[in-house]
Every structure is written in structure tokens, then in C-alpha cells.
């Protein structure tokens, strides 16, 4: 598992985790924001009217309403990224990561507007009578030119479709059920395999009905789950109201300086906060990834721009509202830089050769350089001498980017272990299935769960996270099954969908008890494999996007002469 995670992390470092990927994503958002004159601001109010169906026409072709398409797309984005992803972003980059998540969302509102409009314009009707769309269709059907030469991007369409199938597992299935199972186990003690089995059956029953059943379920799930989560989040924020102003200050004061060491948090560089904030922002709202256009392609509309306008609302709801709430919960409650007892994951643990102390500023500086990849500290190779669960060697263990304390080692049955443990280059040999428990920083869903207990609801707050995570993540898995089956339809025809759904459900079950770190790393890779060809495609079609938008307002004035336009 450690070797696999290292391989995946190396791959991710060259694509999704690289600086050029971040600049490509944000640069595309900046370009279209300026090129289209800030549509996320000018068209926001108008987009709300479109969602309500004010400008619908009888006979509009499609399978779902604007609201159902928005709900399906939102259910695909509102998931573990809003609960676990925000906690991971703060864990990695400190409070400043929240600022960069918000920037990503603001620019992503324009990116989604563009990608949904173009994808909706080139959607097709499949053999079974349903609509199919997404970036692979505009890559296949649009006229691309570069320096006066026509381009054939059907190869890129195939790459995107293939990446969508992979991402349906890496984004929509595996990390979602993994977070659900971890949360239910931590809160209720429910066996992870049992959680995965029950949810896999429920998932299969929903997705077998196709987009109409998916839309019917998600249009009811999304409003309900948002309400539950809002109540729980506000209970934490108002309970810790005296920390709200300092929380806001930390978000904005650290954005150009990085986050200093505080509590168990050893600090983060500006670059790390920027990279992780943007990366987690994309995982949360998926702007630029090209996934939402697949859901919006099913919407009833007589032209594409109206559905693009609907998509503007997604990053606003998903990231600017829900992720901001989660961020304030984590910061105001103070849990983000506190150490909590937890079971260590081997892939997130490193054994160092000497004893370090957080009370020694020199040691803190050394550890800061180590966890941020600037100057790795010497790692331990040899045998740990363990007696009744206590490690006797004079050394330190880093877990979850923090200096671990009060460490105990036990066997798979929970008995305190005595004997030796092999370590190579700081990594523990996990062949003996030993369990390390101690105090360290925690991240992802478990951190948000702890934060929700610091509220008026007390210990009951953890149930809100578990229920919210269950609904959020399950709805995401539902939507991503549709994205995957549309990609399979594009590549192999509608007959391939049934096989995809079977594998999707099986993978959903297995991921309930798979290492979290590996799943998050895999999701980063699959996101990048979708995003890169999609961004290239919409940039090449920038002129067509502007002309399509201009045509929309011209026709709108003819159809609705008494309606004020925001152009």
C-alpha cells in the first residue's frame, strides 16, 4: 500500500499537484471572467430566474428541468469535498487555504458557465432516446482552429471520456463511501464492510433507473441535506462566536505570508496553502473539470446559454456558501490545530531518527522544513523496540503533518504489543498488521466530526456530520455514476452501461474499507486527467462562446421584449 501510494503521489505531483496545473485552472477562469466581462456577477440574479423556469418554452427538448439538472450537478459536487476536503485543505495549508478555495470558486463560476454552455450546445440524443452531452461531445463535433489550421480533437474527446470513467471512481465513488464508512464507524461503531454493503445495494437500486430516477432522488436529497448541515454548522459558529473575527483575520492575513506554527500545527508555506486551496477547491466544486456539463446536458432547453447560466450558481452554493461554513466551523472551534487521539495510518506516518520537541523553536523550524518538503529530516531505519505497547527507542514520529505523542502499539486484536517493528527509511513495515494509536493532528471527515461537537448540541453534533456526510457523499456517488455511464455510452454505446454500473457498485463497496490516503491521492490524479483536456477545449472555443452568448441576448430580446436583460 505504501509503495502504491508513493507511485500515485509521484504521478499526482506532475499533474494535479503541480504548479502549472493550478495556473492553468485559475488562468482559464481569469481569462473568461475578463473576456466575458464578469458574467458571474452580471448574470447571477438572472440565473436564479432561469432556474425557477421563468423563461422555459413548451416543447423544450431534454430529460430534466433546470432545477433537477442543477440538483443533480450539485449532488455531484456537494460531497466529501465540503466536509472532508475543507478539513484536509486547512490541515495541509492552514487557514489561508480557505481564501484560495474561495478564489477558485469565484473564478470557477465563469468557467462552469462556459463549459456547460458549450457542452449543452453540442449534446446528442442517444439510441435509447435520452440526451447525452459533456466536453467529449463538443471536442468531437465543434470546429476547432489554431493559427488558421483546423484541428481534429476526437482523440482528446476519447481521452476525456476515458478519464471520466476513471474519475467516476476516483471522485464519485471511492472517496465518498470511504468517508461515509469512516464517519459511521467513528460515530456509531458500525463496521465499515457493513456500511459499504448496505449503501452499495441502495446505490444500485437508484442508478439502475437512469437519469430520471437519479434526478428525482437528488432534487429531494440536496435541499434536505443542505438544511441539516446548515443547522449543525451555525450551532458551532454561534457557540464559538467570539472566535469568528479571529478566524476571518487568519484566513486573509495568512494568504500572502503562509501560516505560522500554532498548537500542533507546524506551519505551511504560501505555495502550499495556494496549491492545496486551489486543488481542494476544484475537488469541491469541479469547475473546469467538465463533469457538471454531463448532468446539465439532460436539461430541457431550446438553446444552450440558459443552462450555462444555471451552472453559474453551482460553485457559489457549493464552495462560497457550504465550504465557507465548514471552514468557519473548523477555525472557530479551534480543533484544526489541536492533537486528538486517533489510529495512525501507515501511509501518513514517518519515523525520524532523533527526538524533537515543540517547545524548541529550532526543532519546530526543522519539522516545518520537513513536512513542507523544503529540507527532509533524517529518517529512521532499523528495529523499533516495543515493550507493552511503548516504543523504547529515542526518536520521533510524524503523523498527519504533526509531532505525534503518547504513542501505543497493539496487535490486530487490540492487545498491547511487545517485540520489534521493522522500519525502512522512516516507513513502518505493515506486514505484521500492527496498530499505532496516539495523539496527533487529524484531518478529513474525522476533524469536521470533532468540530461539530463544539456546539450547542455537544456530543450530538457528531451525528449531524455523520448524517450530512452520508447524504452528501451518497448523492455524489449517484451523480457520478451517471457521468460514468454517459462516458461509457460515448466510447462503447449504450449497451456498455450495465457493465459499468455493476463494476461501479462493486468498487463502491470495496472502497468502504480501503486506505483513505491512497483514495485521496487517486482522486487528485483522475480530476487532472479530466480537467486538462476540458480547459484546452473551451479555450480554443473562446470566440464561439462569445458569439453564442451574443446570439442568446439578441434572441432573448425578441422573445421577451418586456424583460430587462443584464448584458
**pLDDT confidence of residue 2:** 67
Q: Which residue has the higher pLDDT, 99 or 566?
A: 99
**540, 135 Cβ separation under 8 angstroms:** no
Asked if residue 528 belongs to a domain, the reply is: yes
Eight-state DSSP code of residue 416? B
Band the pLDDT of 567: cuts 50, 70, 90: low
Q: What is the CATH number of the domain that holds 489?
A: 1.20.1740
462 in the same domain as 369: no
As for how many domains the chain has, the answer is 2
**Domain hosting residue 199, numbered range:** 9-33+67-145+162-338+452-559
Mean pLDDT of 13-39: 89
229 in the same domain as 127: yes
**pLDDT confidence of residue 208:** 85
189 in the same domain as 128: yes
**pLDDT confidence of residue 381:** 96
Q: Which residue has the higher pLDDT, 452 or 227?
A: 452
Mean pLDDT of 109-131: 89
pLDDT in tens, 270-310: 877 887 788 777 767 888 889 989 989 888 888 899 999 99
**pLDDT confidence of residue 380:** 97
363 in the same domain as 402: yes
355 in the same domain as 417: yes
Asked if residue 319 belongs to a domain, the reply is: yes
17 in the same domain as 124: yes
pTM: 0.84
Which range (25-29, 166-170, 341-345, 356-360) has the least confidence?
Answer: 166-170
Alpha-helix residue ranges (DSSP H) falling in 240-304: 244-253, 270-285, 292-296
347 in the same domain as 334: no
Mean pLDDT of 457-473: 85
Cell 449497451 belongs to 495
Count CB-CB contacts under 10 A for residue 261: 17
pLDDT in tens, 56-86: 887 777 778 888 888 888 877 776 677 878 8
332 in the same domain as 405: no
282 in the same domain as 423: no
State the burial class of residue 511 (Cβ atoms within 10 Å of its Cβ: 0-12, 13-18, 19+): buried
User: Does residue 519 surpass a pLDDT of 80?
Assistant: no
User: Does residue 54 surpass a pLDDT of 90?
Assistant: no
Asked if residue 155 belongs to a domain, the reply is: no
User: Does residue 390 surpass a pLDDT of 90?
Assistant: yes
State the burial class of residue 44 (Cβ atoms within 10 Å of its Cβ: 0-12, 13-18, 19+): middle
Mean pLDDT of 336-349: 92
Band the pLDDT of 89: cuts 50, 70, 90: confident
497 in the same domain as 353: no
**pLDDT confidence of residue 526:** 81
**pLDDT confidence of residue 23:** 86
* 38 φ/ψ angles, rounded to the nearest 5 degrees: 55, 60
350 in the same domain as 499: no
pLDDT in tens, 414-423: 899 999 999 9
Eight-state DSSP code of residue 380? P
Count CB-CB contacts under 10 A for residue 201: 12
User: Does residue 546 surpass a pLDDT of 80?
Assistant: yes
Cα gap 411→434, rounded to integer Å: 5
**pLDDT confidence of residue 79:** 67
Mean pLDDT of 15-39: 89
Band the pLDDT of 512: cuts 50, 70, 90: confident
Mean pLDDT, the chain, rounded, equals 88
138 in the same domain as 25: yes
Band the pLDDT of 141: cuts 50, 70, 90: very high
> Which of 393, 413, 440 corresponds to the end of one domain?
440
**pLDDT confidence of residue 128:** 74
**pLDDT confidence of residue 169:** 86
User: Does residue 33 surpass a pLDDT of 70?
Assistant: yes
**pLDDT confidence of residue 187:** 77
Band the pLDDT of 228: cuts 50, 70, 90: confident
User: Does residue 1 surpass a pLDDT of 70?
Assistant: no
Amino acid at each position: 500500500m505504501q509503495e502504491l501510494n508513493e507511485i500515485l503521489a509521484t504521478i499526482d505531483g506532475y499533474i494535479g499537484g503541480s504548479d502549472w496545473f493550478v495556473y492553468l485552472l485559475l488562468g482559464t477562469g481569469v481569462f473568461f471572467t475578463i473576456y466575458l466581462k464578469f458574467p458571474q456577477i452580471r448574470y447571477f440574479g438572472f440565473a436564479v430566474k432561469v432556474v425557477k423556469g421563468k423563461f422555459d418554452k413548451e416543447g423544450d427538448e431534454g430529460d430534466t428541468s433546470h432545477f433537477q439538472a442543477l440538483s443533480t450537478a450539485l449532488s455531484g459536487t456537494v460531497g466529501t469535498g465540503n466536509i472532508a476536503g475543507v478539513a484536509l485543505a486547512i490541515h495541509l495549508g492552514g487557514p489561508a487555504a480557505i481564501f484560495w478555495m474561495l478564489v477558485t470558486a469565484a473564478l470557477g463560476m465563469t468557467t462552469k458557465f462556459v463549459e456547460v454552455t458549450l457542452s449543452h450546445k453540442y449534446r446528442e440524443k442517444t439510441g435509447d432516446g435520452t440526451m447525452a452531452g459533456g466536453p467529449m461531445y463538443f471536442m468531437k463535433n465543434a470546429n476547432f482552429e489554431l493559427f488558421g489550421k483546423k484541428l481534429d480533437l476526437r482523440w482528446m474527446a476519447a481521452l476525456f471520456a476515458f478519464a471520466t470513467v476513471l474519475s467516476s471512481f476516483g471522485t464519485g465513488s471511492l472517496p465518498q463511501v470511504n468517508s461515509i464508512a469512516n464517519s459511521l464507524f467513528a460515530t456509531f461503531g458500525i463496521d465499515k464492510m457493513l456500511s459499504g454493503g448496505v449503501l452499495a445495494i441502495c446505490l444500485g437500486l437508484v442508478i439502475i433507473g437512469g437519469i430520471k430516477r437519479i434526478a428525482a432522488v437528488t432534487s429531494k436529497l440536496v435541499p434536505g441535506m443542505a438544511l441539516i448541515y446548515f443547522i449543525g454548522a451555525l450551532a458551532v459558529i454561534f457557540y464559538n462566536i467570539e472566535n469568528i473575527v479571529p478566524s476571518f483575520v487568519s484566513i486573509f492575513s495568512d494568504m500572502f505570508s503562509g501560516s505560522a506554527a500554532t498548537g500542533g500545527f507546524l506551519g505551511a508555506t504560501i505555495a502550499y496553502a495556494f496549491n492545496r486551496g486551489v486543488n481542494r477547491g476544484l475537488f469541491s466544486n469541479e469547475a473546469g473539470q467538465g463533469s457538471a456539463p454531463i448532468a446539465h446536458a439532460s436539461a430541457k432547453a431550446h438553446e444552450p446559454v440558459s443552462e450555462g447560466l444555471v451552472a453559474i450558481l453551482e460553485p457559489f452554493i457549493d464552495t462560497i456558501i457550504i465550504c465557507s461554513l465548514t471552514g468557519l466551523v473548523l477555525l472557530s472551534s479551534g480543533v484544526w490545530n489541536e492533537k486528538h487521539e486517533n489510529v495512525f495510518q501507515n501511509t501518513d506516518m514517518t519515523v525520524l531518527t532523533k527526538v524533537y520537541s515543540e517547545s524548541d523553536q529550532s526543532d519546530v523550524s526543522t519539522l516545518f522544513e520537513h513536512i513542507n518538503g523544503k529540507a527532509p529530516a533524517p529518517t529512521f531505519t532499523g528495529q523499533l523496540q516495543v515493550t507493552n505497547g511503548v516504543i523504547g527507542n529515542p526518536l520521533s514520529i510524524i503523523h498527519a503533518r504533526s509531532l505525534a505523542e503518547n504513542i501505543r502499539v497493539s496487535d490486530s486484536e487490540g492487545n498491547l504489543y511487545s517485540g520489534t517493528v521493522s522500519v525502512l527509511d522512516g516507513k513502518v513495515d505493515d506486514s505484521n498488521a500492527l496498530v499505532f494509536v496516539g495523539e496527533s493532528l487529524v484531518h478529513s471527515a474525522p476533524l469536521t466530526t470533532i468540530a461539530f461537537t463544539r456546539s450547542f448540541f455537544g456530543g450530538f453534533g457528531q451525528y449531524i456530520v455523520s448524517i450530512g456526510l452520508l447524504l452528501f457523499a451518497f448523492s455524489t456517488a449517484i451523480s457520478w455514476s451517471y457521468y460514468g455511464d454517459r462516458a461509457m455510452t460515448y466510447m462503447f454505446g449504450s449497451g456498455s452501461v450495465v457493465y459499468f454500473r455493476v463494476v461501479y457498485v462493486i468498487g463502491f463497496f470495496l472502497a468502504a474499507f480501503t486506505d483513505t490516503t491512497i483514495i485521496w491521492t487517486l482522486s487528485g490524479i483522475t480530476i487532472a486527467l479530466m480537467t486538462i483536456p476540458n480547459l484546452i477545449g473551451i479555450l480554443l472555443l473562446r470566440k464561439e462562446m462569445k458569439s453564442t452568448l451574443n446570439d442568446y441576448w439578441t434572441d432573448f430580446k425578441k422573445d421577451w421584449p418586456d424583460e430587462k436583460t443584464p448584458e
